[in-house]
């Protein structure tokens, strides 16, 4: 609390500046703030002197204090959001240093000495392949300015060799400021590109090809693009480096023999953090504001300190650690953690300037909730009973069924409850009404037809349910105002 009080005092310093202008217009406040930033004299003011303030300026002080704080929060928010949406690169890649060194060395060889290279980066989704490459290229840019070109392709976007070639020429001609040429045929653009690449010698500017989703390129007919790229890398022409990024371990098997023989067989494997300590260290780092950030105002520095210590205390909170642990145990995927960060980070505001564990816990629960069970909470009672009926059919090892069978099961249940006098206002709905409910379930794809083509009337079409028996049980238990008869039936207890 004393920390907060101190900051308040410092921020009221800002208020003194505002007093001069006597204007509540925000624009001027912003200007004043920037003025204040540049004025070393004002900065050296002792906060203590400013604590004595006239009461009528209190509101103003409050406002501008909020204002300064709002700016800090905004910048912190932006920084972290950039990081977790993977727009900015992390400062360091702790658990990937060996891979990074390998890759950087390889690319440096190409850029510096004109050695052609090819390499495959294999790793699970979210293990940092793209980040690694981007980081390496960024560092090369810093060292070698623009002495090399980068061509980025994505197997999902360039779905055939023709569009890939067009994209390569587009990126090359744009970056090397050559006159734009348009090609009509595949052969023409290929020959142009090859001449472009072959005409060079070792002294020409090297080109780095980054092929994201490399396995999809291998599915192109004849693998012409890969063949040509690897061929250029093999023969000492224009120096190029071909980097393939993939999450398929068997990508090598996909390559044709002639392509494979031209590939250098260099593979770099990437792994997610292997132990929980590393994992939580990386996650913690992602949420902290680095001290290196150019903070001039004492208020800002203080905020950063407070913010980071809030993150530190959060990582001591057992419930928060349980959330992180769960993600680590389930997937080791950093993106899963980032996903639950978005909400707490975007909710940073003057009212809650620091991250706290409860928010993460909440958003963690929201994101990992079983969406099917959640969806089942909103179905009508009739639909729920139909689902339980399907569950009963499953128990009898009738894995595919049609509407008639489900309706029969439902009718049996209703007869049973009505005889037992447990019906509680539930009535037996007509076949057509039940069929409509059944089709509603089908529209959510909770129930799916076995065959894609219907060969018989729709009530006889064989279906299967896309739910586990446990999901059905938990749906019944979670359903609001569920009649006890349905609850008993759905959870498998005898009536």
Partner 1 sequence: MPDTTGSMVDTQQDDLKKLFPGRAEQIDTLLGLMGKPTDPTVPSILIYGHSSSGKTSLVRALMSKTLPRKQWAYINCIECHTPRMIFEHAVNEWCNWVPSWENQFRSIARIDSLNDFLCVLKEGVPINEQATETIGDNETRYLVLDRAERLRDVASTILPVLLRLSEVSHRNICVILLSTIVYEKFRTKAGAFEPLMIRFPEYSKEDTLEILRRDFSANGMDIEVKGKESVHLGDDFFRSFSEVIYSIFFHNCKDLNELRHLVALLFPLFINPIRDGRAKPHETSKLFKLSQPYFAEATDKLYLREISSSEWAKRTSEMAQGDIALDTDASVVTAIRTNSRGDFDLPYYTKFLLIASYLASYNPPRFDVRYFAKVGEEKRKRKRGIQKPVHDKSGGKMRQQLLGPKAFPVERMLAIFYSIIDEQLDDGIDIPVQITSLTTLRLLIHTTKMDKLDGAKYKCNVSFDFIRGVARSVRFEIDKYLFDFI
Which positions from 434 through 453 interact with partner 1, judged by CB under 8 A? 436-437, 440, 443-445
CA proximity to 343, closest of 359, 357, 358: 359
Q: Which is nearer to partner 1, 51 or 146 (CB)?
A: 146
Q: Which is nearer to partner 1, 35 or 426 (CB)?
A: 426
Residues 364/418, Cβ–Cβ less than 8 Å: no
285 binds partner 1 (CB under 8 A): no
Q: Which of residues 128-157 bind partner 1 (CB under 8 A)?
A: 130, 154, 156-157
Q: Which is nearer to partner 1, 316 or 397 (CB)?
A: 397
Interface residue with partner 1, options 139, 167, 278, 317 (CB under 8 A) = 167
**Sole window of 59-67, 182-190, 196-204, 260-268 interacting with partner 1 (rule: CB under 8 A):** 59-67
CA proximity to 391, closest of 320, 475, 270, 333: 475
Q: Which is nearer to partner 1, 110 or 363 (CB)?
A: 363
DSSP 300: H
184 binds partner 1 (CB under 8 A): no
166 binds partner 1 (CB under 8 A): yes
Distance CA 346, CA 344 (A): 6
CB atoms within 10 A of CB 4: 11
Least distance to partner 1, CB of residue 15, Å: 14
Least distance to partner 1, CB of residue 362, Å: 11
Residue 151, φ and ψ in degrees, nearest 5: -115, 120
Distance CA 166, CA 189 (A): 7
Q: Which of residues 198-257 bind partner 1 (CB under 8 A)?
A: 213, 215-216, 247-248
86 binds partner 1 (CB under 8 A): yes
Coil, helix or strand for 54? coil
77 binds partner 1 (CB under 8 A): yes
**Sole window of 2-10, 176-184, 372-380, 413-421 interacting with partner 1 (rule: CB under 8 A):** 372-380
Q: Which is nearer to partner 1, 78 or 265 (CB)?
A: 78
Interface residue with partner 1, options 372, 422, 487, 488 (CB under 8 A) = 372
Distance CA 8, CA 321 (A): 32
Q: Which two tokens stand for residue 85?
A: 């949406």
Alpha helices in 238-351 (DSSP H): 251-254, 257-260, 276-287, 298-314, 318-330, 334-346
Binding mask 93-132 for partner 1 (x = CB under 8 A): --------------------------------x----x--
405 binds partner 1 (CB under 8 A): yes
C-alpha distances out from residue 206 to 175, 176, 202, 232, 288, Å: 13, 12, 8, 12, 37
**Sole window of 9-17, 40-48, 276-284, 376-384 interacting with partner 1 (rule: CB under 8 A):** 376-384
Helices vs strands, H then E, count in the chain: 24, 7
Least distance to partner 1, CB of residue 71, Å: 8
Least distance to partner 1, CB of residue 158, Å: 6
457 binds partner 1 (CB under 8 A): yes
Residue 283, φ and ψ in degrees, nearest 5: -65, -40
CA proximity to 290, closest of 142, 88, 71, 133: 88
CB within 8 Å of 348: residues ≥ 6 apart: 73, 76, 77, 354, 355
Residue 121, φ and ψ in degrees, nearest 5: -105, 120
- With CB under 8 A, what is the number of residues at the site for partner 1? 79
Interface residue with partner 1, options 172, 194, 381, 414 (CB under 8 A) = 381
Q: Which is nearer to partner 1, 4 or 466 (CB)?
A: 466
Q: Is the torsion defined by CA of 328, 331, 332, 333 positive or negative? A: negative
26 binds partner 1 (CB under 8 A): yes
74 binds partner 1 (CB under 8 A): yes
Interface residue with partner 1, options 87, 142, 257, 351 (CB under 8 A) = 87
Q: Which of residues 322-341 bind partner 1 (CB under 8 A)?
A: 335-336, 339
433 binds partner 1 (CB under 8 A): yes
> Could you give the dihedral angle defined by the CA atoms of residues 400, 403, 405 and 411, in that order, rounded to the nearest 10 degrees?
140
Least distance to partner 1, CB of residue 257, Å: 24
Residues 69/353, Cβ–Cβ less than 8 Å: yes
């Amino acid at each position: 609390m004393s920390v907060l009080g101190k900051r308040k005092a410092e921020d009221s310093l800002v208020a003194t500046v505002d007093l001069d202008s006597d204007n509540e217009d925000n624009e001027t406040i912003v200007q004043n703030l920037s003025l204040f930033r540049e004025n070393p004299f004002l900065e050296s003011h002792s906060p203590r002197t400013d604590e004595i303030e006239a009461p009528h300026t209190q509101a103003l002080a409050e406002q501008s204090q909020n204002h300064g704080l709002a700016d800090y929060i905004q910048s912190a928010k932006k920084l972290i959001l950039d990081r977790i949406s993977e727009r900015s690169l992390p400062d360091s890649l702790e658990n990937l240093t060996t891979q990074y060194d390998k890759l950087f060395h390889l690319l440096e060889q190409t850029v510096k000495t004109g050695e052609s290279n090819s390499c495959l980066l294999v790793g699970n989704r979210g293990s940092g392949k793209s980040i690694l490459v981007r980081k390496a290229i960024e560092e090369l840019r810093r060292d070698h300015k623009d002495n090399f070109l980068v061509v980025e392709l994505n197997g999902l976007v360039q779905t055939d060799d023709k569009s890939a070639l067009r994209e390569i020429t587009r990126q090359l001609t744009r970056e090397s400021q050559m006159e734009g040429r348009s090609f009509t045929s595949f052969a023409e653009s290929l020959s142009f590109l090859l001449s472009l690449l072959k005409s060079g010698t070792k002294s020409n500017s090297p080109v780095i090809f980054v092929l994201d989703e490399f396995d999809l390129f291998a599915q192109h007919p004849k693998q012409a693009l890969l063949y040509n790229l690897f061929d250029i890398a093999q023969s000492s022409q224009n120096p190029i480096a071909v980097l393939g990024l993939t999450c398929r371990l068997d990508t090598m098997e996909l390559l044709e023999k002639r392509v494979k023989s031209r590939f250098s067989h260099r593979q770099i494997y990437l792994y997610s953090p292997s132990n929980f300590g590393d994992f939580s260290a990386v996650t913690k780092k992602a949420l902290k504001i680095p001290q290196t950030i150019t903070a001039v105002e004492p208020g800002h520095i203080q905020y950063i300190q407070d913010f980071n210590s809030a993150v530190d205390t959060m990582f001591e909170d057992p419930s928060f650690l349980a959330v992180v642990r769960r993600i680590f145990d389930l997937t080791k995927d950093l993106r899963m953690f980032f996903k639950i960060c978005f909400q707490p980070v975007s909710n940073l505001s003057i009212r809650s300037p620091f991250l706290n564990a409860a928010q993460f816990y909440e958003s963690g629960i929201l994101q990992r909730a079983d969406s099917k069970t959640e969806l089942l909470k909103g179905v009508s009672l009739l639909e729920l009973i139909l689902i339980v009926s399907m569950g009963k059919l499953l128990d009898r090892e009738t894995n595919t069924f049609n509407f008639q069978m489900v309706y029969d099961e439902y009718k049996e249940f209703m007869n049973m409850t009505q005889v037992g006098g447990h019906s509680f206002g539930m009535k037996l709905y007509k076949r057509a009404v039940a069929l409509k409910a059944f089709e509603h379930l089908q529209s959510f794809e909770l129930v799916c037809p076995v065959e894609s083509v219907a060969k018989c009337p729709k009530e006889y079409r064989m279906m299967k349910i896309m739910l586990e028996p446990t999901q059905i049980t938990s749906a019944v238990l979670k359903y609001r105002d569920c009649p006890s008869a349905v609850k008993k039936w759905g959870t498998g207890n005898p009536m």
